[in-house]
Structure 1
Amino acid sequence: MFEDDRDDKIYNLIISNGTDKNGEYRQFIEKVYSKTDFLWKESISSSYSTAGDAFFQKVDRIILLAGLYNDNKDTFHDLIEAAEKYEIPIILVRPYGLEEVPEILEEKAATIVGWNANCIIDSIKDSIDMI
């Protein structure tokens, strides 16, 4: 990486979590941590429906792990509502090992990405132009 290309921004992410039978959250976190030149932190709330303005106004991206959708629909819908209200881009990550994503999520996503670490990071950095 050239010095001029360095991105010193610390991205504040919400990453969908909850019931996770296949360990997709852990796998996603490992992918992001593998990119040592990408700076980020995660914002977590016990209830996204009541988190409020102060919480969401500092969030840069919402990452929805599509493989967790069926077991965590309420949380996903709360995050989608927040993304729309606060104009936060949604990055939709395909279910691990699958290509199809729930249509309701696909409609709301700024971008859809698979499990390649470089593609994930690029989509996070570039999604600001997609809202």
Structure 2
Amino acid sequence: MYSTNSALKNYRCFISHAWGHNDSYYKLEEMLDKAPRFKWSNHSVPEHDSLDTATDAELEKELEEQISGTNIVLIISGMYYSHSKWILKEIEIAEDKNKPIVAIKPRGQKRTPMEIQEKADELVGWSTSSIVSSIRRHSL
């Protein structure tokens, strides 16, 4: 998950995504890993490495901790987002923590949910260069 060039700034990213649509998450992770001259660490909660919580309140607290330690929150802005209360909660946490939000439109996606467009600091297309440029531009 880390670039091999240690002289670069390490961008700490939280990728908000729906577990039912993991393909985009893993592809984005791969794109960031392969981006030239870009170092990042992943603070996301992928399905294969879920948080050990028993209640929604515990999960929300854990998500707050994950997001608190980041420079930026990336949202894979597929139309399925409205079916995930957790993506909406992650957006709310990012706003509460004053974390910049970059929405990424998945390849082939024609529309982006209006709520994500309104909350995001920027909406970018599905290309490594535009995503990395946006992370650099908006990271705290």
Q: Please name the residue that 1:30 is paired with.
A: 30
Q: Please name the residue that 2:20 is paired with.
A: 19
Q: Please name the residue that 1:99 is paired with.
A: 110
Q: Please name the residue that 1:89 is paired with.
A: 100
Task: Measure how far apart 1:79 and its partner are.
Answer: 0.8
Aligned with 1:20: secondary structure?
helix
Q: Please name the residue that 1:58 is paired with.
A: 69
Q: Answer yes or no: is 1:79 the counterpart of 2:80.
A: no
CA deviation digits over 1:48-90, x for unaligned, max 9? Answer: 521276543321111100125144x211111111111110011
| TM-score after normalising by structure 1 | 0.80
Number of residue pairs matched by the alignment: 122
| TM-score after normalising by structure 2 | 0.76
Task: From the superposition, tell whether residues 100 and 128 of structure 1 become closer, same or farther in structure 2 (CA, over 3 Å).
Answer: same
CA deviation digits over 1:32-62, x for unaligned, max 9? Answer: 1221311101113536521276543321111
Task: From the superposition, tell whether residues 56 and 116 of structure 1 become closer, same or farther in structure 2 (CA, over 3 Å).
Answer: closer
Gaps of 5+ in 2: 1-6, 46-50, 52-57
Residues 11 and 139 in structure 2, CA contact (< 8 A), matched pair in contact too? no
Tell me, in whole angstroms, the C-alpha distance in 2 between the residues paired with 1:98 and 1:64.
14
CA deviation digits over 1:3-26, x for unaligned, max 9? Answer: xxxx721111111231116x1112
Task: From the superposition, tell whether residues 57 and 16 of structure 1 become closer, same or farther in structure 2 (CA, over 3 Å).
Answer: closer
Q: Please name the residue that 2:136 is paired with.
A: 125
Task: From the superposition, tell whether residues 126 and 70 of structure 1 become closer, same or farther in structure 2 (CA, over 3 Å).
Answer: same
Tell me, in whole angstroms, the C-alpha distance in 1 between the residues paired with 2:82 and 2:133.
27
Partner amino acid, structure 2, of 1:119:
S
Aligned with 2:20: secondary structure?
coil
Gaps of 5+ in 1: 1-6
User: Matched residues, percent identical?
Assistant: 23
Residues 14 and 66 in structure 2, CA contact (< 8 A), matched pair in contact too? no
Tell me, in whole angstroms, the C-alpha distance in 2 between the residues paired with 1:96 and 1:52.
27
Task: From the superposition, tell whether residues 49 and 9 of structure 1 become closer, same or farther in structure 2 (CA, over 3 Å).
Answer: same
Task: From the superposition, tell whether residues 104 and 35 of structure 1 become closer, same or farther in structure 2 (CA, over 3 Å).
Answer: same
Task: Measure how far apart 1:119 and its partner are.
Answer: 0.6
